[in-house]
């Protein structure tokens, strides 16, 4: 069992500054029916926010929201049917956007969009009909993600800024998901082993893969350890499932120490960490007892502030869904209202 430090945090819930300003926004053309709307998926230290939006026909387009200006965009080849289109997964310090398209035939293709607006699409060599998903980007524009082989199984890849692709799988992997990459070119994610337990991994620039597990994670039926994101310095945040099928958050510090945590007041479905800044400040979401979702900020010392975007619904699967946090503590995310419509938000 790896060394760890268990966070006992019940009395520390409001030690972070509680004053906050929320900016809730909708992209012009976003749909207004349940499942449609604006989804903010990333923020960088410049305050640039990126994401995607579903129109009235549930076709997706990306957006780039800088200082005062918002630029919708679609990558070449994006499908025009329901739940097809352009999906954005992150943004680098250089304002390079990463994501993937779903084409008319249902296949996926990765892309990177430079700050100039130039879009480069790509596929991992050997990918099958289900294609390629680009799911993370570093501050140096190195991207990582998942591709599907001809049998529909997931494998991981790393793509250099110049376009060179490296494919990899952790030993014993049945499926691989890469969703974080730091400034040293280390890739983070999770994989499933032969007994269907999930394990976290760190792939170093040398190609060495180190496996890690949250100390209290279960190891069966897709319980286990699931990193969700990594900071530029290599801190990792994610979720683990315990033997009682409850979700808990964790942060993996530089050096490998894992800190487990639960947001005070979280319901039986638990806590999910989604993003971490370079100073160790983490964000994510937790379920209340009604299965509505609320956001949180967790300081490096383990103090929590709960986040509730204006207009967020309070019923099952509604609420506040933080997706990213930058070095200044600004959070991007999505608020799902009582009608099931999504709205982007920034929390300062």
The domain that contains 261 carries what CATH number? 2.130.10.10
Contacts with 148 (C-beta within 8 Å, 6 or more apart), sequence order: 108, 127, 128, 129, 130, 131, 132, 154, 155
Locate tokens 């983490």: which residue?
A: 282
Note down pLDDT in tens along the chain; length 348 residues. Answer: 333 222 322 323 334 445 689 999 999 999 999 999 999 999 999 999 999 999 999 999 999 999 879 999 999 999 999 999 999 999 999 999 999 999 999 999 999 999 999 999 999 999 999 999 999 999 999 999 999 999 999 999 999 999 999 999 999 999 999 999 999 999 999 999 987 689 999 999 999 999 999 999 986 555 899 999 999 999 999 999 988 889 999 999 999 999 999 999 999 899 999 999 999 999 999 999 999 999 999 999 999 999 999 999 999 999 999 999 999 999 999 999 999 999 999 999
124 CB burial (10 A radius; 0-12, 13-18, 19+): buried
Nearest by Cα to 25 from 42, 39, 46? 39
Q: How many domains does the chain have?
A: 1
Q: Give whole-number Cα distances, 299 to 43, 73, 181, 263, 277, in Å.
A: 18, 35, 22, 12, 10
Is 75 in contact with 63 (CB distance < 8 Å)? no
Q: If you ran DSSP here, which 8-state letter would residue 67 be given?
A: S
**Distance in angstroms (rounded) separating the CA atoms of residues 148 and 143:** 17
Place of tokens 């060179």: 164
Do residues 324 and 275 make contact, with C-beta atoms less than 8 angstroms apart?
A: yes
- Judge whether 142 and 181 are in contact, CB under 8 Å: yes
Closest CA to 37 of 243, 284, 312: 312
pLDDT at 245: 81
The pLDDT assigned to 221 comes to 53
Supply the pLDDT for residue 244: 80
End-to-end CA distance of the chain: 38
DSSP assignment of 140-182, as one string? Answer: TS-EEEEEE-TTS-EEEEEE-TTS-EEEE--TT-SEEEEEEE-
The pair of three-digit structure tokens given for residue 275, joined into one six-digit string: 């993003």
CB atoms within 10 A of CB 329: 18
Other CB atoms within 10 A of residue 133 CB: 26
Q: What backbone torsions phi and psi does residue 23 show, to the nearest 5 degrees?
A: -115, 115
pTM: 0.93
Instruction: Record the tokens describing residue 246, joined without a space.
Output: 């409850």
Sign of the Cα pseudo-torsion (269, 187, 128, 72, in order):
positive
The pair of structure tokens assigned to 322 is 């933080």
Q: Which residue range forms the structural domain that includes residue 294?
A: 4-347
pLDDT of res. 218: 83
- Tokens at 308, concatenated: 């509730």
Q: What is the pLDDT of residue 219?
A: 60
Burial 270-290 (b: 16+ CB within 10 A, else e): bbbbbbbbbebbbbbbbbbee
């Amino acid at each position: 069992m790896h060394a760890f430090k268990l966070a006992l945090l019940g009395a520390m819930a409001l030690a972070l500054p509680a004053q906050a300003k929320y900016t809730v926004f909708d992209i012009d053309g976003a749909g207004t029916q349940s499942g449609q709307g604006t989804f903010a998926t990333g923020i960088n230290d410049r305050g640039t926010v990126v994401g995607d939006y579903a129109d009235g026909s549930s076709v997706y387009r990306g957006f780039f929201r800088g200082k005062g200006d918002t630029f919708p965009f679609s990558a070449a080849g994006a499908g025009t049917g329901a739940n097809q289109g352009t999906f954005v997964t992150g943004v680098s310090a250089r304002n390079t956007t990463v994501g993937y398209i779903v084409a008319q035939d249902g296949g996926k293709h990765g892309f990177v969009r430079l700050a100039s607006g130039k879009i480069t699409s790509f596929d991992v060599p050997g990918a099958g009909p289900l294609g390629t998903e680009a799911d993370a980007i570093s501050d140096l524009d190195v991207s990582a993600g998942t591709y599907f082989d001809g049998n529909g199984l997931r494998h991981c890849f790393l793509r250099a800024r110049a376009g060179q692709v490296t494919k990899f799988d952790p030993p014993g992997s049945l499926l691989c998901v890469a969703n974080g990459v730091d400034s040293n070119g280390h890739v983070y994610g999770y994989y499933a082993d032969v007994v269907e337990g999930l394990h976290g991994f760190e792939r170093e620039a040398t190609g060495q893969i180190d496996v890690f597990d949250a100390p209290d994670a279960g190891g069966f039926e897709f319980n286990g350890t699931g990193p969700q994101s990594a900071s530029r310095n290599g801190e990792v945040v994610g979720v683990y499932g315990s033997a009682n099928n409850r979700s808990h958050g964790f942060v993996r510090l530089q050096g490998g120490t894992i800190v487990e945590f639960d947001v005070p007041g979280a319901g039986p479905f638990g806590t999910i960490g989604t993003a971490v800044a370079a100073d160790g400040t983490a964000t994510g979401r937790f379920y209340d007892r009604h299965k509505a979702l609320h956001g949180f900020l967790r300081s490096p010392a383990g103090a929590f502030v709960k986040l509730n975007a204006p207009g967020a619904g309070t019923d099952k699967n509604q609420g506040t869904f933080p997706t990213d946090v930058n070095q200044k503590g600004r959070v991007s995310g999505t608020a799902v209202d009582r009608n099931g419509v999504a709205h982007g938000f920034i929390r300062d």
